[in-house]
Amino acid sequence: MHGKFDDLGRFADPSLLILTSLSDGPKHGYAIMTDVAAFSGVSMEPGTLYGALSRLERRGWVRPLAAAERRRPYEITAAGQEILAEQVKTMQQIVRVARLRTAMAWRA
Amino acid sequence: MRPGLAGRLSRFLVGCHPRRWRERYGEEMLDVLDQHHATARTVASLWASAVSAQLDPAYRTDRLSLSRLRRAALISAAVAAPLALVLAPLGYRMWQDSYWHPAADEPLETAAFSPHTGIMVTAFGEAIDGTDMVWDVTDLSRPRRLSQIEGGQPVALSPDGRTVATIAYSGQPVLWNVADPRHPVKMTTLSDGDGSQLEELAFSPDGQILATARYDKIFLWDMASPARPRLLRTLDAPVTSPAGGGPIPFSQQDLVFSPGGTILASATGTDQVTLWNVTDPARAYRLAAIGGAGDFIQAFAFSPRGNLLAAMTYHGTVLVYSLANPVRPARTATVRGLLTRAVFPSGSPQPSETPLCATCDGLGNYAVAFTPDGHTLTVVVDREEISANSGRDTIFDWPVTGSGTLGTVTAAARDVADFQPVIAPGDRTVLGSPPGSHAWHAWPLP
């Protein structure tokens, strides 16, 4: 991970998954966990989820919405979308280089 | 790690976060834990989260704390937590060994069914040493045990098969979420401010009301939100001596809702069934009291249409009442002497037997039910004998008319010892287990 995500430390990867999950609409905690498991296969535990959510909220990348009973949905902010786009771009660059280099390795 | 233990540790660790953190995220995290299958990974992640939040300057609130003290406390917690993770399962096991035994030698006390979901919950033993087991009985001849929870007699299962009401070790009614029947999660303990023995639990047919009975009171709970039941009404149901005099054998509160859910019947005290109008549970009121002819009523059942109530007394008398006018129930049938016609473990009846006294225990255990079409009344009697504890089952069947009169009885015996027989709804199967056995068996009625 690069850039602003560096500050997130061990929560960088979960944060990326959470931002990705919220990019198609607001979700509450358990819905994020099931969505992340569905699209990435990563089984995120509640401690990790809320550790990352609290950091994302503090940075203004996600925003809590009004709670319905004990469930509080979160939505991604414009700043969050921006940082997610940056991260995706970085990852695409990594994927491109990796593909290139592994292809070269096979040829060699 | 046992799922129950992981869930408890997880909830404990949520409480280990700083106050400000808990105020902000505590409730939603508990909500997630209610839905999440907690494992050792969950515990580890919450422990890491708690330590991390304690170290996070954003959640420091206490002005009075000394930084050194805080640091020492945090280090101690960080050292103690892994130790607790290791020691907690051992402690839990020791606690279980001391107080809660999975009823290894207790016979089946009762069973609760959710016919539409095929889920059944059985109760073995009482709270202090009891176990409730959740089963898949889609095919009763091939039951599958799904899970086991701390509980005992009494037990009730909501009609949708998602909530078990049972008794906690503390004696309080407790609710378990069994929406995932393999992983029950304890939801809440009901506090009614009454310390007497919890006798019985029953869900209304629509699952919206839970009735809990103690020694001389019945509590009606709104179950719209099963995690947070709301007490709607407390009914006084005094325990009385039999009409013919004599001592009270023992306290008993049995509860059954009518099939339409508008009437709650309770066996209050020794010789009466009280009918309550629970159409508006917040304003429930007593409709009538049905006399048990001076004998303690031990089992009773509504007919499928709810127009009849059949009751079985302690000394073996069957009573049928018409509820055409529930304010004035009319007795339509009385059959005495079932106890002396039921066979003992030896296979023989004792027609000359005279029950010793009103307080004598060990006469017999009964199950009462109508067939789903309402045309037959069935009573299963299991004779008890001190030397053999439990005998063969004797089955009595009567044709029932719509007005509540009984035709000619047919009797049959089955060479099974059921201790407390239970008639499963619908498919006419009897469940029971011999004394000293944790297993139960099922056999079809003739």
Total-model pTM: 0.61
Chain segment B3-57, per-residue pLDDT in tens: 577 888 888 888 888 888 888 898 889 989 988 888 888 888 888 888 888 777 7
Least confident of B34-43, B229-238, B388-397: B388-397
At B378 the pLDDT is 94
Edge to edge, the sheet with strand B429-432 lists B422-424, B429-432, B441-444
Is residue B94's pLDDT more than 60? no
Question: What does the buried/exposed string (b/e) look like for B180-189 if buried means 16 or more CB atoms within 10 Å of the residue's CB?
Answer: ebebbbbbbe
Q: Chain B residue closest to A68 (CA)?
A: B28
Beta carbons of A48 and B45 less than 8 Å apart = yes
Q: Do A30 and B24 touch (CB under 8 A)?
A: no
Q: Identify the residue among B13, B23, B25 best suited for mutation to test binding to A, counting A beta carbons within 10 A and taking the highest.
A: B25
Interface contact flag, B49 A50, Cβ < 8 Å:
yes
Testing the interface with B: which of A42, A50, A58, A71 to mutate, by most B Cβ within 10 A? Answer: A50
pLDDT at B129: 63
Which residues of B sit within 8 Å Cβ distance of A? Answer: 10, 13, 21, 24-25, 27-33, 35-36, 41-42, 44-50, 52-53, 58
The answer to whether the beta carbons of residues B399 and B87 sit under 8 Å apart is no
Write down the pLDDT at residue B405: 94
Please say if the pLDDT value at position B103 is more than 50: no
Better-scored residue on pLDDT, B399 or B12: B399
- Shortest Cα distance from A68 to chain B (angstroms)? 10
Q: Is the pLDDT of residue B99 over 50?
A: no
Contact check, Cβ <8 Å, A46/B45: yes
- Predicted pLDDT at B100: 38
Q: Which domains does chain B have, with CATH numbers?
A: 3-98 (no CATH), 108-444 (2.130.10.10)
pLDDT at position B64? 44
- What tens digit of pLDDT does each residue of A65-107 get? 988 888 899 999 999 999 999 888 888 888 888 888 877 665 5
φ/ψ (deg, to 5) at A77 = -95, 175
Residue B47, token pair as written in the block: 């422990």
Taking CB atoms and an 8 Å cutoff, what residues of chain B touch A71? 28, 31
Partners of B397 in beta bridges: B378, B410
Which range is most confident: A55-59, A94-98, B291-295? Answer: A55-59
Residue in B with minimal Cα distance to A31: B32
| Residue B387: pLDDT over 60 | no
Confidence (pLDDT) at B201: 93
What is the predicted pLDDT for the residue at B175?
Answer: 95
pLDDT at B204 over 90: yes
Q: What is the DSSP letter of B322?
A: E
Chain A residues with CB-CB distance to B26 below 8 A: none
**A48-66 per-residue burial string, b: 16 or more CB within 10 A, e: under 16:** bbbbbbbbbbebebbbbee
Is A46–B33 a contact, with Cβ atoms under 8 angstroms apart?
A: yes
Cα A98 to Cα A79: distance, rounded to the nearest angstrom: 29
The alpha carbon of residue B32 is apart from the nearest alpha carbon of chain A, in Å, by 5
Please list, in sequence order, all residues whose beta carbon lies within 8 angstroms of the beta carbon of residue B72, skipping any fewer than 6 positions away: none
Q: Domain range spanning residue A43?
A: 3-107
Residue to mutate among B11, B49, B228, with most A CBs inside 10 A, is B49
User: pLDDT class for B270, splitting at 50, 70, 90?
Assistant: low
Q: In this predicted structure, which of B60-69, B77-86, B388-397 has the lowest mean pLDDT?
A: B60-69
Q: In this structure, what token pair is assigned to residue B142?
A: 């091939």
Instruction: Show which residues on chain A lie within 8 Å of chain B, measured between beta carbons.
Output: 28-30, 33, 43, 45-51, 53-54, 58, 67, 69-72
Q: Contact A51/B42, CB-based, under 8 Å? A: no
Q: What is the mean pLDDT of residues A35-63?
A: 91
Instruction: Specify the pLDDT at position B288.
Output: 93
For residue A54, the chain B residues in CB contact (below 8 A) are 21, 24-25, 53
Q: What are the distances in angstroms from CA B415 to CA B139, B296, B344?
A: 23, 27, 10
H or E segment and range at residue B175: strand B173-177
Check: CB of residue B102 under 8 Å from CB of residue B123: no
Give the mean pLDDT of B83-111: 63
CA distance A94 to chain B (A): 29
Contact check, Cβ <8 Å, B32/A54: no
pLDDT > 70: percent of chain B: 79
Q: Please tell me what DSSP assigns to residue A8.
A: G
Mean of pLDDT over chain B: 81
State the smallest CA–CA distance between residue A102 and chain B in angstroms. 35
CA distances from B394 to B320, B347, B352, B366, B379 (A): 20, 10, 17, 10, 8
The CATH number for A42's domain is 1.10.10.10
pLDDT at A6 (0 to 100): 72
Of residues B24, B35, B41, nearest to A45 (C-beta):
B41
Decide if B296 contacts B249 (C-beta within 8 A): yes
Q: How far is CA B10 from CA A9, B14, B16, B18, in A?
A: 24, 6, 10, 15
Which residues in B lie closer than 8 A to residue A73 (C-beta atoms)? none
Per DSSP, what are the bridge partners of residue B289? B274
Mean pLDDT within B406-411: 92
Highest mean pLDDT pick, A16-20, B130-134, B348-352: A16-20
Please determine, for residue B243, whether its predicted confidence score (pLDDT) is greater than 60.
no
Q: How many domains does chain A have?
A: 1
Is A48's CB within 8 Å of B49's CB?
yes
Q: What is the mean pLDDT of residues B238-264?
A: 73
pLDDT at A38 over 80: yes
Average the pLDDT over A10-39 and give the result.
92
Judged against a pLDDT cut of 60, whether residue B251 lies above it is answered with no
Among A51, A58, A71, select the one facing B28 at the smallest CB separation: A71
Question: Across residues B434-441, what is the average pLDDT?
Answer: 69
Q: What is the per-residue pLDDT for B140?
A: 81
Pairwise CB contact (< 8 Å): B45 & A47: yes
Q: How confident is the model at residue B143 (pLDDT cuts 50, 70, 90)?
A: confident
Q: What single-letter DSSP state applies at residue A11?
A: G
Report the pLDDT averaged over residues B223-241: 88
Tokens linked to B316: 């073996």
Q: Find which of B154-163, B310-319, B382-391 is predicted with most confidence, using mean pLDDT.
A: B154-163
**Closest Cα partner for B365 from B430, B410, B437?**
B430
pLDDT for residue B271 is more than 80: no
Q: What is the ipTM of this complex?
A: 0.85
Selecting from B35, B42, B52 the residue whose C-beta is nearest the C-beta of A45 gives B42
**A-chain residue closest to B46, CA distance:** A47
Measured between beta carbons, the chain B residues lying within 8 angstroms of A53 are 25
Q: Do A29 and B33 touch (CB under 8 A)?
A: no
- Chain A residue with CA closest to B16: the answer is A47
Q: Quote the minimal CA–CA distance from B31 to chain A in Å.
A: 6
